[in-house]
Structure 1
Amino acid sequence: MTTTNLSIRAGKNHENILEEIPSTSPIAQDGGAVAWLQCAGAFCLFFNSWGLVNTFGIFQAYYETSMLSNVAASKISWIGSLEAFLFVFGGVVTGPLYDRGYLLTMVRTGSVLVVLGLILTSICSKYWQLMLAQGLLTGLGSAMFFVPSMALLPTYFVKRRALSTGIAITGGNIGGIVYSVVFRQLQPRIGFGWATRTIALIMLVTLILPVTCLRMRSKPPAARRFFDPQVWTETPFVTFAVSCFFGLIGLYIPYFYIDSFARENELAGTNLALYLLPIMNAGSVVGRVTLCYIADRTGPVSILILCAIGITISVLAWPGVSSEATLITFSVIYGCFSGTYLSLVMTTVAVALCPDMSVIGLRIGMACIPCATGLLIGSPIGGVTVKHGWLGLQMLTGAVLSLSAIGLMRLRVLKVGWKLWKRC
């Protein structure tokens, strides 16, 4: 089935704003030029949304030592936590909007907001200004990207859903690598303002593809509700939601604090310290491509459990990091498992917890509630805990991640029983 172009006519009525797409729910096709073009567009959306979240550790380190040196680390982390929270929690609203056909409207609005947010960030000098520009405005723009980039691909792929989603989400890690390196290299030479504006320019250019090329394959014949209480009566969905809540509390603590950990413990030279976050993001790229490929054969829940166990063991081993070699090893391994964990969360919703693909946007939106809440409180809690020492932070992170792993094991049992060889 072919897709048709978006038709937007200024001044027309409400119906003309919707994209002219079929109102049925066709069976997804595996691959093809149009399908992989959507994957490339989703990659760019993650590059410019989750990529910024993955970069915040670099901004946090700069704020702690320069612009906001008199502000506590836990308070600074609220900027990045708010951005991440809005990015995911926005799915509660953008999910139903996606189901109504407003794909390109959201992508275009989000593109304006994220670029504008970074430009305004470049001229900020106070904490409250950064909270509004980088935390609030950029977070709201990113929220417009999350559900479109996650919900679009399952309608174009069946056998390759996890792989295509994993490739798209690697955009967040590659964005984290690119933007971290750009900021680290340019900030000492041209200053904070111009380094941040350079990132905004890169965002503007890379958002051209999704703005012009993304297309929905189908739109439900009837408008969907913005909230569905029915999903919270389903035991598998609730189990999954609780598991993700605990997982997202701990998942981003190493991303936000690995730079500070290395500097305070004098484990890395200046050059290595500059690139720990890009190294962690590079590990995520490898994990997302390889493990998501395997997930298409074993089922996403099985690999999600593997990743939850992997990040738990990695964090519990974190206190043993005492040299550059072990620091790099920890960064790569944690990045590999944590990146895949995040990729498979929404793939699990599509494959195992969404009986009707016409409501995938709504289902993903419901799953965003616990995920976003965990993201919001995780890093600030980490900032308070680290005041009493790194060991407390590491054990706290390991504890919440272990709870996530246990919950996901319970989900698998609910779906397929105790048969270890059964696909789930």
Structure 2
Amino acid sequence: MENANLSNTASSDNKKLTNFNSLDLSQVDTAVARPQPARFTSSSSFDEDAIDITPVESASSCDYKSVESTPSVTSLTLSNKDKKLAACTSTNALVGEQTHEQSDSDESTLNDEKTYTEEDDDFPEGGRVAWMVVFGSFCGFVPCFGLMNIGGVLENYIQDHQLKDESSSTIGWIFSLMFFICFSSCIFSGTYFDRNGFKAPIVVGSLLHVAGIFAMANCTKYWHFIVAFSILCGLANGILMSPLMGAPAHFFKRKRGTATALATVGGSVGGGLFPLMLRKFFSMEKAGVDDYGYMWGIRTLGFIDLVLLCVAVTLGRERLPHVVDTPRNNESRFRHILRVYLLQSLDVKAFLDMKYFFCVLGTVLGELSLTSAITYYSSYAMSQGISQSDSYMLIMAINLVGIPGRWVPGFLSDVVGRFNTAIVTLTCLSLVMFIGWLPFGTNLKNMYAISILYGFFSGSIFSLLPVCCGQISKTEEFGRRYSTMYFVVSFVTLAGIPITGAIIGDKSVTNYQNYVIFSAATCMAAAICYVISRAYCVGFKLVKF
């Protein structure tokens, strides 16, 4: 009786093995996605030594990187030495076939198995490589944000020299267009960074930045500044911004606020040292050469930026896996690039999330307040009887005090919460303008005190607001959402700076007071937006967030 049962069982097994050879891959597909007690692999001709019965936990345990180069199941001939590798290899092949043939819904299910999730990752939170990346971003932000922070110095000089016949509102378009191109182009660099990594956009941005600086040294007409400063430098900074901001986020989660703040301190260093350097150069003169000091001051700035950007290229890198977006069926390479880098770069659906919407709105208003105030800060000081040289020193004070202004709120954000810290600093900044700058900004001593307070509380706008965006976004989506946020910022600053110039108008005392009120009101509105965004997340409870 027992011998009969064994005979029947062996016969049944042989039939199963024979039938397996004739199976269509489409029939096997359904078996790949779930755990199997055993995986049978055979060649086209039956050979008992070529059969491998290896337990396989699931398809996800195999390596997906070699899908394209893996042969199909029917072409495999395995030796006994390769039995252990056979199951994983054959599963790879099946998954490769399945990826190309399954429907869109099935494809999304399979991709979910391979998608990186932040919760599953163990962030380094430090170490030599991580801090070297932070330092690389720091060096990159010195020229990137540093150039943006000295807009008041440049505006003041060219208004009194090369473009002395132009109005404040007209000159304001040079800087508003620069901010617009910078913030709008960073959306594409953010998408590229997510998919291809750090090096390429930093190299391209560095070359454009240095070229724009050297071209600006020879500018004498309005359209010269538009091409060199607004277009070249604006595009370069936009390409640099997202990778420099996103790279430290790949290595830090719990300490992300501190890491980002330390990286963006580079902007304050550049904004503090560059005016001091340019102040000396702008006072230089040479017989027969117009704007001699200006030309060599800007060229020196270009050489310094070149060295710092080379350091950023060398030290910076990404850590997380690249976002994979393969071409769809019958999709050409051009249409694939157009879809990924243009049509899908703007994360419009993210605005349906109210906490993200108000976070973006708060950032837009905060950036508008900061760019408007800084661009005409030196001109305001001169309207109060302060010399041009001292007005440069006020901007230097704002940026140097911005160093602890970026680091201290970044450190506190990891302790008491990023949104909590952002709301407090934005509120304090608006109070400095309403209570300090507006009534008392009439002499040099008072303006130094106001500059120190303004520099400290405004430092969090560049360093902390992007971190708040990262807190309500997945790490792999941060580059895209950050770029989308600043794409919206670009349109506001495009009109915001000329509007501020129009408010100043004939540079009367009353108009300059209206300029201060406008900057303060937009900053207070930014704080309110962050309160609303926080409420959508945790309500009005006094908790760390």
TM norm structure 1: 0.90
Q: Indicate conservation of the 8 Å contact 2:187/2:483, yes or no.
A: yes
Out of 355, 372, 377, the residue aligned to residue 236 of structure 1 is 355
Name the counterpart of 2:199.
Answer: 104
> Percent sequence identity over matched residues?
25
Out of 196, 204, 208, the residue aligned to residue 306 of structure 2 is 204
Name the counterpart of 1:176.
Answer: 271
Aligned pair in 2 of structure 1 residues 173, 221: CA closer, same or farther (>3 Å)?
A: closer
Q: Indicate conservation of the 8 Å contact 2:215/2:228, yes or no.
A: yes
**Rounded Cα–Cα distance in structure 2 between residues aligned with 1:200 and 1:222:** 37
CA apart distance, 1:148: 0.5
Partner-residue secondary structure (3-state), 1:28: coil
CA apart distance, 1:24: 5.1
**Rounded Cα–Cα distance in structure 2 between residues aligned with 1:229 and 1:270:** 45
Name the counterpart of 1:14.
Answer: none
Out of 176-185 and 117-126, give the one that drifted further: 176-185
**Rounded Cα–Cα distance in structure 1 between residues aligned with 2:156 and 2:497:** 14
Partner-residue secondary structure (3-state), 1:239: helix
Q: Indicate conservation of the 8 Å contact 1:99/1:362, yes or no.
A: yes
CA apart distance, 1:378: 2.3
Q: Indicate conservation of the 8 Å contact 1:249/1:377, yes or no.
A: no
CA apart distance, 1:269: 4.5
Aligned pair in 2 of structure 1 residues 86, 27: CA closer, same or farther (>3 Å)?
A: farther
Spell out the pairing of 1:382-421 with structure 2 (5 A cutoff): 382-387=500-505, 389-420=511-542
Partner-residue secondary structure (3-state), 2:464: helix
**Rounded Cα–Cα distance in structure 1 between residues aligned with 2:424 and 2:136:** 29
CA apart distance, 1:84: 2.2
CA apart distance, 1:377: 2.4
Q: Indicate conservation of the 8 Å contact 1:23/1:220, yes or no.
A: no
Out of 385-394 and 144-153, give the one that drifted further: 385-394
Out of 220, 232, 238, the residue aligned to residue 143 of structure 1 is 238
Spell out the pairing of 1:8-407 with structure 2 (5 A cutoff): 26-189=121-284, 190-223=292-325, 225-266=344-385, 268-269=386-387, 271-317=389-435, 318-320=437-439, 321-351=441-471, 353-354=472-473, 356-387=474-505, 389-407=511-529
Deviation string 1:30-85 (CA, Å, 9 cap, x unpaired) is 11110111011111111111110111111111111111000111211222222222
Aligned pair in 2 of structure 1 residues 23, 202: CA closer, same or farther (>3 Å)?
A: farther
**Rounded Cα–Cα distance in structure 2 between residues aligned with 1:48 and 1:102:** 21
Structure 2 spans left out of the alignment, 5+ residues: 1-113, 285-291, 326-339
Deviation string 1:95-133 (CA, Å, 9 cap, x unpaired) is 111111242110000010000001111111100111110
**RMSD of the alignment, in Å?**
1.7
Deviation string 1:321-377 (CA, Å, 9 cap, x unpaired) is 2222211111111111111122111101111x20x2122111111211222223322
CA apart distance, 1:198: 0.7
Partner-residue secondary structure (3-state), 1:90: helix
Aligned pair in 2 of structure 1 residues 200, 23: CA closer, same or farther (>3 Å)?
A: farther
Aligned residues: 399
What letter is aligned with 2:306? L
**Rounded Cα–Cα distance in structure 2 between residues aligned with 1:244 and 1:297:** 22
CA apart distance, 1:272: 2.5
What letter is aligned with 2:443? S
**Rounded Cα–Cα distance in structure 1 between residues aligned with 2:388 and 2:499:** 28
**Rounded Cα–Cα distance in structure 1 between residues aligned with 2:128 and 2:181:** 32
Q: Indicate conservation of the 8 Å contact 2:369/2:519, yes or no.
A: yes
Aligned pair in 2 of structure 1 residues 94, 270: CA closer, same or farther (>3 Å)?
A: closer
Partner-residue secondary structure (3-state), 2:345: coil
CA apart distance, 1:86: 2.3
Deviation string 1:229-285 (CA, Å, 9 cap, x unpaired) is 22011111111112222222212222111211111111x355532311110101211
Q: Indicate conservation of the 8 Å contact 1:101/1:216, yes or no.
A: no
**Rounded Cα–Cα distance in structure 2 between residues aligned with 1:23 and 1:52:** 38
What letter is aligned with 1:92? I
**Rounded Cα–Cα distance in structure 1 between residues aligned with 2:127 and 2:402:** 26
Name the counterpart of 2:50.
Answer: none
**Rounded Cα–Cα distance in structure 1 between residues aligned with 2:530 and 2:254:** 22
**Rounded Cα–Cα distance in structure 2 between residues aligned with 1:375 and 1:271:** 27
Aligned pair in 2 of structure 1 residues 270, 94: CA closer, same or farther (>3 Å)?
A: closer
Name the counterpart of 1:3.
Answer: none
**Rounded Cα–Cα distance in structure 2 between residues aligned with 1:204 and 1:369:** 26
**Rounded Cα–Cα distance in structure 1 between residues aligned with 2:523 and 2:499:** 14
Partner-residue secondary structure (3-state), 1:316: helix
Q: Indicate conservation of the 8 Å contact 2:279/2:389, yes or no.
A: no
What letter is aligned with 1:319? L
What letter is aligned with 1:371? V
Which one has the largest radius of gyration?
2
What letter is aligned with 2:275? S
Partner-residue secondary structure (3-state), 1:145: helix
What letter is aligned with 1:349? C
TM norm structure 2: 0.71
Out of 393-402 and 133-142, give the one that drifted further: 393-402
**Rounded Cα–Cα distance in structure 2 between residues aligned with 1:423 and 1:380:** 39
**Rounded Cα–Cα distance in structure 2 between residues aligned with 1:135 and 1:227:** 23
Higher relative contact order (CA 8 A, sep 6+): 1
**Rounded Cα–Cα distance in structure 1 between residues aligned with 2:238 and 2:305:** 15
What letter is aligned with 2:256? R
